[in-house]
Amino acid sequence: MLGTAPAYVLSWSAWRLLSTIIPGRPFHVMDDLFYAIYQSMVLFFFENYTGVEVLIYGDIPKNKENVVYLSNHQCTADWIIADMLAIRQNALGHVRYVLKDGLKWLPLYGWYFSQHGGVYVKRSANFDEKAMTSKLCSQTKCGAPMYLVIFPEGTRYNPELPKVISDSQAFAKKEGLAVLKHNLTPRMKASHIAINAMKDHLDSVYDITVAYEGTLKATGGRRSAPSMPEFLCKECPRVHIHFERVDLKEIPKEAVFFRRWLHERFEIKDKLLTSFYESEVPEQRCKFPGEGRKSPLSLKKTLPSLLFLGGLTLPLLLTDTGRKLYLKTWIYGTFVGWLWVNISP
């Protein structure tokens, strides 16, 4: 996946230069297509190669929608879960992320995620509401489809970091909110701004709860969710995804009421995860209430992308000139990406 990145960025950059003389809408259409090709290749490894079984609780709309995707956050593999759902709606190219500011340092990816419509945010007092609103409004103004992924907890829930969990619970208690056991207290700013900024563009909000099988200890209790490398090493046999589509009419606009609404959504997640890990009925553990439907991903949706990107990458690696260009793309891409993210308005 990392090996194809330079070839992908070179191809995308060529399109970016060609598209400077045409309106923004055609650029976004091709940009989404490029992104869908790359992410399909990623899903080849995370689904087809690993053989992970995806179980979905709830009905995913068959048609594409403009949505804000709100999910609990446990590990780096959570980003892939959004792709897993989006590809099943043929909306993979529309996925964009609200990312913590530190991720802009990622070589090539940090710059490209911003180009694709992703938003970098800082926490607490450093949160730039105007910048986020401006970025989202510019995307929706040109009609870019939106599958905006947000993890309201702001950081990962990790049972091996009890201080983070206890601090989050203490904050909830201080603010008069229900104390959560299997989630961190959600932060509302990014979600509230996103939904309000795009209210005339969105169709709904997707409320997602994810649990990774294999994270229940034999002695009881919860262990850390798998990282991306662990996931690729086939250490997660099944992913359980609880899906609920929320109508925009149900979501309050005022910040104080939105905060309460968001916390109530996380209370529901907490109950689902408590049942998953702690149900008194052994047969009901390691699954969500209700019926989970298996949702296998066809090779037809991922293998062509793997072959296409592999075909772009191999010529770069088979010649001295290609290898030099490949290396320069990593080096210059990292440097230019850093400048773009840190200096551009």
Q: Is the pLDDT of residue 336 over 60?
A: no
Q: Is the pLDDT of residue 332 over 60?
A: no
Instruction: Check residue 26 and give its pLDDT.
Output: 76
Q: Picking from 17-31, 187-201, 218-232, 258-272, which range would have the lowest pLDDT averaged per residue?
A: 17-31
pLDDT averaged over every residue in the chain? 87
CA distance 135 to 138: 5
pLDDT tens column, 257-316? 999 999 999 999 999 999 999 998 888 899 999 999 999 999 999 999 988 888 877 766
Phi-psi region of 58 (alpha: psi -120 to 50; beta: other; left: phi over 0): left
Residues 230-255 have a mean pLDDT of: 95
| More confident call, 329 vs 305 | 305
| More confident call, 314 vs 176 | 176
Give the closest residue to 5 by CA, choosing from 114, 113, 109: 109
Q: What confidence tier does 339 reach under pLDDT thresholds 50, 70, 90?
A: very low
The answer to whether the beta carbons of residues 4 and 258 sit under 8 Å apart is no
Residues 95-107 have a mean pLDDT of: 84
* Residues counted in the chain: 345
3-state secondary structure 100-152: EHHHHHCCCHHHHHHHCCCEEECCHHHCCHHHHHHHHHHHHHCCCCCEEEECC
pLDDT tens column, 181-207? 999 999 999 999 999 999 999 999 999
Q: What confidence tier does 343 reach under pLDDT thresholds 50, 70, 90?
A: very low
Instruction: Check residue 324 and give its pLDDT.
Output: 64
pLDDT tens column, 54-65? 999 999 998 899
| More confident call, 123 vs 325 | 123
Residues 5-9 have a mean pLDDT of: 75
Q: Is the pLDDT of residue 136 over 90?
A: yes
Q: Is the pLDDT of residue 342 over 60?
A: no
Range with the largest mean pLDDT of 104-118, 123-137, 207-221 = 207-221
Instruction: Check residue 334 and give its pLDDT.
Output: 52
pLDDT tens column, 73-88? 999 999 999 999 999 9
Handedness of CA 227, 232, 238, 240 (dihedral sign): positive
CA-based radius of gyration for the chain: 20
Residues 116-143 have a mean pLDDT of: 85
Instruction: Check residue 338 and give its pLDDT.
Output: 47
Q: What confidence tier does 23 reach under pLDDT thresholds 50, 70, 90?
A: low
